[in-house]
Each structure stands twice: as structure tokens, then as C-alpha cells.
Structure 1
Amino acid sequence: MNFTIFIIRSSNFQSKTMNIPPVILNAGKKHTATLVFLHGLGDTGMGWAGALNTIKPDYLKIICPTASMLPVTINGGALMPAWYDITSLDENSKQRGEEAGVLESVKYLVNIVNGEMRYNIRPERVIIGGFSQGGAVALRTALTSGLQFGGCIGLSCYLPGDIDNIDVPDTPNIQTPIFQAHGDSDEVVTYSRGVKTSKILEKHFSNHKLVTYKGMGHEGTLEELDAVKKFIQTCCPE
């Protein structure tokens, strides 16, 4: 069963060059943790806000930014909200042309995390995550930023760019917990690509888990959302 996603409300925090503010779901009581969640290609910050609002604990603030409008190569150069250009969906492609955009989005995500320091929320109490392209940015950020986050959620995604030459900090066991989920019937980001990504992550993260959803395509389900809820409460309890 799929879930419907809809807008809740937005704030005055500006998103890159689009001047579209992210959706902000404020904590219902004392704010002690934050989730920053990035949408997939062609979506906006409002796309996942409704679903995430149904699992949000009272102490958690959620930030759902919107990516800039970029021409996307695999879609014939059409402009759409994108965290970076995608030149190919071939899991064996080096995709070096994506690297500059990936690095820019990683920097953007880290800046949002650092901005939460204004509210006395350290990176260890911030969970980063995303779906598809947004999840790719979140995984890359957890792997290369050198920060320890409260957790990282990667849904139906992969490690972007030239994954054989990613500059990973000299940290043998990154402590950020990773929840990676993928459907075995994904028609966009293949399940085999998700598995390939998981094997890379297992080499660097001491707490990594890949959850496979039978029959699930490139989508979200209520079962997966419930698993995300449990991951949030485990990584950043009240």
C-alpha cells in the first residue's frame, strides 16, 4: 500500500537558488532533535512532509528543503528540481559528470545541519535522509562529511558519482547509524544497485542495515514508513 504525501506548511528559510522555502514541521514540545529529509528528482520539499508528519515524535523538528531547478540529462535536459544532474541510470557508469553537483548538495545539507546549532541541536542529534536522489545525497554526506550524525536514512537510493574514487575521511568505523531500504522490484534504481551501495557502506559504517521490501517498486510504503519511525526513535530518542 502506497501513502499519499501532501504539504503541511513552510518557513522563511531559503532553498538554494529557487527561493522556495523548505517545509518545516516544528517540534510539538521541547525541540531536542532534527530530521533533514531530501526529496527525489522532480519533487519538492512538500512531497514527503505529509507522510513524515504522521510519524514525527513531539520532540522532533523536520526540515524538507526543495532543490534548485536544473537541466537533467536523462530527461532530455528538462528543467526540474534536482540535487544534481543525472547523466545515466547505469549502475556501472562512473558518472563523473555528476560530481560537482553532488558536492554542492552535500555542502548545502551540511550547512543546514550546522544551522541547527543555533537551536543547540548538535549534529549527533540530527538525522539526515532522503528518497532516491535525495537519499543519494544523504548517504554521500554521511560517508564523506566527517560529521557524526544521529542517523542517516537512505530510501530507494544509491551512492552517486564515481563511487570507486570517493574521498572518504580516514575513519575506519563511522559511527553514524545507517538505515538503507530498497524494494526488490524497483524499476528506477535497481535493487542490485542498492545492494552494491550497501556493500560499500558496510566497509565504513559500524552500524549499517539494508532492509529489503519484497515487491516494492520505486516508492514508499506504510511498512517502510513505520520502520523509519522506529529508526528515528532508536537513533535520537527523547
Structure 2
Amino acid sequence: MGSLVRFLFTLAAAVGAAALLAASLRRRAPPSGLPAQLVPSSHMVGRNRSFVLWLHGLGDSGPANEPIRNFFSATEFRLTKWSFPSAPRSPVSCNNGFVMPSWFDIHELPMSAGSPQDESGVLKAVENVHAMIDKEVANGIHPDNIFVCGFSQGGALTLASVLLYPKKLGGGAVFSGWVPFGSSVTERISPEARKTPILWSHGMADRTVLFEAGQAGPPFLQSVGVTCEFKAYPDLGHSLSKEELLYLESWIKSRLNASAEKDS
């Protein structure tokens, strides 16, 4: 009888251990239908997120540019956060001091390669852009997945913001922009910032920011060790084209994919 009792106790203990193990496995199991190896960690979810900051041109507004995001329909943008801030209103010299949305002062239009620049105003605007970027980095978005883009005055601010940010970013895209400061500012470009790629697009028929102002960009960037892809668009004036935006989508998409492959 004693042997039977011991056997029953042993059997009960084994059954209890099996039940505990099954419960533990259920707690660790992925959601139904999703293999364990496909459950993303919190680190990977954060690493796959991206941020696109769009900076508008003189006299424009952020909300007016929000339809731009509709061109970015690829799956790589499903976790992308977009931001379309508006510039503060301030007097603009080239418009006889008229108050309008402006990131910094512009002394003359059309803008040429030799036009005078408001360097102090540019540097102040750069600080505000950097604060926006820092906020997203603090929220877990990797700098490699952060892209700053801008048109005209916003393009000039994009260039300055990317070059003067202390870390390498995913990229900067300049549309119909110009170099908004002199060579003295280049001393502030960090070795990491020099690794950020630049896409520069400019219309050859631009009569507001002359094509020569755009052409001056790549040689300047080459002189400071920054990679730039320059795309000229014949017959395009001072405006954004669908072709430019579709190319921007593929340009950012390829860098997001490269970032994901590097992390994996």
C-alpha cells in the first residue's frame, strides 16, 4: 500500500510540473498566428520608425504643404511621423519690410550665387529646427531615420540645419534652395554631419532662386566633404513637381531600407 501511495504522489507532482510549464509557455507565446521569431522587440519597433520634417518657403505655411505626404505610399513609410511646421511672421527686406511667414530675412530676390545672406537669422532658425529633431530622437527615433526636407527658403534652412546638426542624419533634401551662409560657418560642421547625404533638386527655369544659386551647392558641399546628388529639371520654374516628389520618395525609401539592413 505504501508503494502505491508513493507512486500516486510522484504522478501528481509530475502532472503539476507539466501544468506549470504549459502555463509558463502560454505567457511567453507570441500572439496567435504570429511565429515567435516575428514578434518585434521594442528596440526594433523604435529602430524602424522614421521622421520627415518639411520646411516650407517664404510666405507659405506648414499646413498648406501637408498634401506632400500623399506621395509617400510605400510600405517603408507606414511608421513615419511627419511634421509641417510654420515659420514665424517677421519683416522681410526683399519685400520692403512686409511682415510674412519667414524662417530668416532675405535681402534680395531673385537669389543668385552671390546674394547677401542673413547668417545670424539662419543660425537662429537652425536652433529651432534642431530642437524639433532632438525631440524625435528623445522619443526613440534613430537619427539615421530622420530626414529634413525643404523648398526655397525652407530648402536653404534644410541645408544649414543638416550640416550643423552634431550627428549624422538619414538625409537632407533641398528643393530650389541655396547655400545660406559663408565659408566661415563651415568650421562648425562636425565629422558626423559630413556623413549625412544631400539630395538637391532645382528647376533650370527658376527665376526666383536662380539656377546658378542651386549649381553653387554641390561644389560647396564637396569642399566640406559632404555627398550630394544634384538633379536639374529642365523647364521647371520656382515650384515643386510631381517628378521631384516621387524621386524623393524612392531616395528616402532606399535609405530607410539600408538603415534596417544595417541594424539587422
Residue in 1 that maps onto 2:125? 105
Q: TM-score, normalised by structure 2?
A: 0.73
CA RMSD across the alignment: 2.0
Structure 1 residues 173, 41: closer, same or farther in 2, change over 3 A? closer
Structure 1: tracts of 5 or more residues without a match = 1-28
Structure 2: tracts of 5 or more residues without a match = 1-44
Residue in 2 that maps onto 1:38? 55
* Deviation of 1:188 (Å): 0.5
Residue in 1 that maps onto 2:103? 83
Residue in 1 that maps onto 2:146? 126
CA distance in 2, matches of 1:180, 1:125: 19
Deviates more, 1:55-64 or 1:85-94: 85-94
Give the partner amino acid of 1:166: V
Q: SS in structure 1 opposite 2:220?
A: helix
Deviates more, 1:30-39 or 1:127-136: 30-39
Residue in 2 that maps onto 1:167? 186
CA distance in 2, matches of 1:67, 1:145: 19
Superposed structure 1 runs of 4+ greater than 4 Å apart: none
Give the partner amino acid of 1:79: V
* Deviation of 1:144 (Å): 2.2
Q: Is the 8 A contact 1:177 1:205 kept in 2?
A: no
CA distance in 2, matches of 1:145, 1:172: 9
Identical aligned residues as a percent: 29
Structure 1 residues 170, 151: closer, same or farther in 2, change over 3 A? closer
* Deviation of 1:207 (Å): 2.7
Q: Is the 8 A contact 1:32 1:125 kept in 2?
A: yes
Q: 2:82 aligns with which of 45, 62, 77?
A: 62
* Deviation of 1:145 (Å): 2.5
Structure 1 residues 230, 120: closer, same or farther in 2, change over 3 A? same
CA distance in 1, matches of 2:159, 2:114: 18
Structure 1 residues 230, 205: closer, same or farther in 2, change over 3 A? farther
Q: Is the 8 A contact 1:173 1:205 kept in 2?
A: no
- The structure whose residues are more often helix, as a share, is 2
Residue in 2 that maps onto 1:203? 223
Q: 1:150 aligned to 2:170?
A: yes
| CA deviation profile, 1:33-83 (whole Å, cap 9, x unmatched) | 000110000000012210223315212111110000010000011111000
Higher Cα Rg, which structure:
2
Residue in 2 that maps onto 1:9? none
Residue in 2 that maps onto 1:184? 204
Q: Is the 8 A contact 2:52 2:148 kept in 1?
A: yes
Structure 1 residues 42, 91: closer, same or farther in 2, change over 3 A? same
CA distance in 2, matches of 1:202, 1:172: 15
